[in-house]
Every structure is written in C-alpha cells, then in structure tokens.
Structure 1
Amino acid sequence: MHDKTRLLLVDDHAVVREGYRRLLDARPDLAIVGEAGTAREAFEQYRLHAPDVVVLDLGLPDIGGVELIRRLVQRDAGARVLVFTMHREPIFANQALRAGALGYVTKSSPPDELVAAVYRVAARRNVMSRDIAPEFAFALLERSADPLAELSPREFEILRLLLDGHSSEDIGTRLSIAAKTVRNCHYQIKVKLGARSDIELTRTAIRLGLI
C-alpha cells in the first residue's frame, strides 16, 4: 500500500501542468508519478505507473479527453479520473461522467477546490466544481430537451473530431477503428441530432453550444 495518493497529470500545455503540479506536490500526502501531453502518452503512463488518480484536461491534441476516459475505464474498471478543464458547458461534464470520470472541475475554480476534488476522487466519490454544479443539475433535469445527451461518449468524440474538420480515415486512425465504422457513426449522429446534412449538423452543434 502506498503512503501517498499517486497522481498522473494529463494536459497538453506544459506550463499549465507545471502550475498544478506545484499546487498538488505541495501536499505531503500527494505525489506526482507521471505527466503526459497527449492521450497516447497518458495511456502509456497509466500502464507504467498505475496511479491512484488521473487528473486530465479534455482538450488533447490526438484524441479527446472523453475518449481517453472511456479507454482508461475499459482497461481498468477501477480507474479514478478527475477532469480539470476550461469547458464549463454541462454537455462536456455529462459526457465525461458517462465515460467514467468521477469528478469534473473547471480551471476557473479556486486552487483549493482542485485539491479537495483530488482527495474526493481518490476516495471514489463524485465531485463537481461549484461554478457549474447548478447549471449541470438543471441540464440533467432538462436532459430530454438536449439531443447531445443521446450521444454515447464514442459518438460524442467522433462528432467533436468531425467538427474540427477531420476525415473519416483520420478519425479512424486516431480512435483505432475502421473508417467505415466512423462513417456509420457519423450517420447515426445525424439521425440522433435530427440533422439531414453536415451543414445542419454544424448548425445544430453551434446552437447547442458545442462549438
């Protein structure tokens, strides 16, 4: 058994990682055992170090944080993930929690809130930062009015990559799935969102605050 709670930090900005590394390293019962700037690096670091808690951003350059969460939980059902991100929209929090994250804290939160969230997730308890908790709760009540809530974490990640302009082939390579599977998901996403074309899909994403 480890004396300290072991953390893996995942953020594509080294300066940002350094900031909360110092914050968390200052706690005598926390230890940073690894850092990563991409999802693939994070997956490898998780395999090597088996950290107690993964603190990760959603905006990663190779695959998104939601997909990374899904893969970590698929590899280890006991993975404890805390999202630390700039995204305040409830849909991002909802997708992260559905993928398997235990906590969600925005980067606009006070430093002590991040520290408290790490301890809470380490204890396998859920946590949501105070600045978005009311909006998130309201969004859950209104879930039937939000078609994005019908998307699975994998579909949400594919939609995010499509909106960023990636081709089916590129998305397939990033997610390690066939391009045909991506195209099938693309079609299902449009069906779920009631979009008859990619133009309508983009307009829907804008209206729902995804972009």
Structure 2
Amino acid sequence: MTRIIVVDDHPVVAEGWSRVTRHLSDCEIVYTATPLRAFQVSREKPPDLLVVDLSFGDERLAGIKYISRLRLHDRRVPVLVFSMHRSAVLVREAFRAGANGFVNKDASPEDISTAFTTVLAGGRYLAPDMATRLAFLDLSTPGEPAPAALTAREVEVLSLIATGKSYREIAQISCVSYKTVLNIGHALRTKLSANSLPDLVVKAVEFFEPR
C-alpha cells in the first residue's frame, strides 16, 4: 500500500489529495495538522511520500524547518511541498532544505497530479514558470531590491519580523545575540530597500504573503 502523509493545517487539503490519488488502487492518505505530529506518525510507520505545506499559523517557515530536520535522519522519503507561496526565494530554500518538488495549491489538477506522480516515482518537480523565476532569481534590475541575496538566516529573521516579533524576541527564539539580530536587521533593510524598521515590517509581511 502506498502511504502518503499530508502535513497541512487545513483539513480540506487532505480531502483534495484523496481525489488526486484516486487513480492509485491501493493508497492510504494520513493527515497531520503539524510537523511535530508528522514526525510522530512517520516513526510509527514510514511513508512513501510526504506532502508538506510551508506555513503553519504564524510559523512562516515551519515547513522548511521540518524538511531540514527530517533530512538529518531520513534522506530517502520523497517530499513534495504544496503551498500557496510563490516567492522564488522560498522555493529555493525549500529545495535547499531537501524538498524533491514544489507545486502551488492553485495549480491545475493536471499539474498537481504530475507533481505527485513525478516525486512519488523518485523524480524532481517544479512548474516551468517557477523554474524560470528561480533561474533568473539572481538577476536583479538596477535600483530594485534583490531578495535573491537573502541568506537562510536572513529569511528566518524576516519571517519572525513578519509575525511582529521584536529583535530581542527574535534573538531568544533563534538562540543568537541581540547584536547579531540587529546586524541582520540592518542587512535586511539594505537588501529590501526598507527606509525604517516599520517599513521593513511591511516588506516582511508582503514577502510572506501568498502571491
């Protein structure tokens, strides 16, 4: 039996994957609402495929963190990210964390099915339009912000800024010094052309808004 674990905080998503996998005669869909629960369920019985969202509530990068931790002890199981996010930077970070494929939740049923079957078979998947955006990620227009230059740590701090966390709170959560977060904040303001901290907060929220 093909065992699929869907890690998403929206139950309707699991129902959708049941329709996507109906062509498989022997398939089991297991729904988990949190990455922590996914770890527990995976240990009980390893899946043949993990379908993972990126954001869980205010945890904008919870899915990417989950994939990174998963890859520390399991390099085998295929991981397909299923998200509303369209940021090429987040797609890049998902693949760097260890994802095998990425498909948007608003993609056509045919594209979602293709992503599913490709990753389940051991391949890699990225829609052509997103692949193009990823390929041109490092080519910035003069005078425009260059989000491609963001490091993984900067993306993490930006995600926490987007939730309204102060620099001191971010330092505690990330287990780094306040000075380190302050320096990262200055770097983010430069890279995202933010004129002030409030402006950076606005840009952070916009960065993580599905688009």
Query: For this structure pair, what is the TM-score category when the shorter chain's length is used for normalisation?
Result: 0.7 to 0.9
Cα gap change, 1:125 to 1:182, in 2 (>3 Å): farther
The alignment of Structure 1 onto Structure 2 pairs a total of residues equal to 201
Correspondence for 1:24 = 21
1:75 is paired with a residue of what secondary structure? coil
Shift of 1:124: 2.9
Cα gap change, 1:86 to 1:204, in 2 (>3 Å): closer
Structure with higher RCO (Cα < 8 A, 6+ apart):
2
> How far does the alpha carbon of each residue in 1:15-61 deviate from its partner, in whole angstroms, 9 at most, with x for none?
222122232244225432x2111121122222222212111111213
% of aligned pairs identical? Answer: 34
Unaligned runs of 5+ in 2: none
Cα gap change, 1:74 to 1:205, in 2 (>3 Å): same
What is the rounded CA distance, in whole Å, between the counterparts of 1:47 and 1:85 in structure 2? 24
What is the rounded CA distance, in whole Å, between the counterparts of 1:121 and 1:101 in structure 2? 10
Aligned CA-pair RMSD: 3.2
Is contact 1:109-1:131 (8 Å) kept? Answer: no
Correspondence for 1:81 = 79
Aligned runs of 1:1-20 on 2, under 5 Å? Answer: 4-20=1-17
Correspondence for 2:155 = 156
Is contact 2:54-2:64 (8 Å) kept? Answer: yes
Q: Which has the higher helix share?
A: 1
Letter in 1 for 2:201: T
- Select which of 117, 120, 123 maps to 2:118: 120
Unaligned runs of 5+ in 1: none
Correspondence for 1:96 = 94
What is the rounded CA distance, in whole Å, between the counterparts of 2:41 and 2:176 in structure 1? 28
Correspondence for 2:176 = 181
What is the rounded CA distance, in whole Å, between the counterparts of 1:184 and 1:136 in structure 2? 32
Shift of 1:137: 2.4
Shift of 1:191: 4.5
Letter in 2 for 1:109: A
TM-score scaled to structure 2, two decimals? 0.77
Cα gap change, 1:51 to 1:199, in 2 (>3 Å): same
Shift of 1:192: 3.7
Correspondence for 1:146 = 146
What is the rounded CA distance, in whole Å, between the counterparts of 1:182 and 1:38 in structure 2? 29
